[in-house]
Amino acid sequence: MNTTLLTVVSKTLIHGLIQRVVFKGDGLGNMPSNIAGLHIKLFFLKPGQVELCLPTRTENGFKWPEEGKIPFMRNYSVRYFDRNNNHLTVDFVLHNSGGPASDFARYANIGDVIGFDGPGPAKLINEKCSNVILFGDLSALPAIAAISESINRKKIRGIFLDLPNHDAIRPLVAEYFDSFDTILVLNQKLNGELEYLNVVNEFITNFSMTDTSVFLAGEHASVVYIRRFLRAKQWPKENLYAVPYWRHATAEDNYRQERHAVIDS
Same domain? For 9 and 87 the reply is yes
Whether 165 has a pLDDT exceeding 90, the answer reads no
Q: Are residues 260 and 136 in the same domain?
A: yes
Q: Kindly state whether residues 155 and 73 are assigned to the same domain.
A: no
Does one domain contain both 209 and 235? yes
Q: Does a structural domain hold residue 122?
A: no
Higher pLDDT, 161 or 255: 161
Domains in the chain: how many in total? 2
pLDDT in tens, 75-88: 999 999 999 999 99
Same domain, 184 and 76: no
Identify whether 161 is part of a domain: yes
- Is the pLDDT confidence value at 230 over 60? yes
pTM confidence score: 0.92
CA distance 182 to 159: 6
195 and 256 housed in the same domain: yes
Question: Looking at residue 195, what is its pLDDT?
Answer: 60
Which residues form the domain of 253? 131-264
The lowest-confidence range among 68-82, 126-140, 170-184, 226-240 is 170-184
What is the C-alpha separation between 29 and 60, in angstroms, rounded?
A: 25
Query: Is there a domain that residue 237 lies in?
Result: yes
Query: Is 126 inside any structural domain?
Result: no
Cα dist. 61→55, 102, 236 in Å? 9, 26, 29
Would you say residue 255 lies in a domain?
yes
pLDDT digits (tens, 9 = 90+) for 67-116: 789 999 999 999 999 999 999 999 999 988 889 999 999 999 999 999 99
CATH number of residue 45's parent domain: 2.40.30.10
Per-residue pLDDT tens digits for 5-18: 999 999 999 999 99
Same domain for 112 and 201, yes or no, is no
Same domain for 187 and 165, yes or no, is yes
pLDDT value for 115 = 97
Does residue 145 belong to any structural domain of this protein?
yes
CA distance 134 to 183: 9
**Alpha-carbon gap, residue 114 to 6, rounded angstroms:** 5
pLDDT of 21-65, one tens digit each? 999 999 898 888 789 899 999 999 999 999 999 998 888 888 888
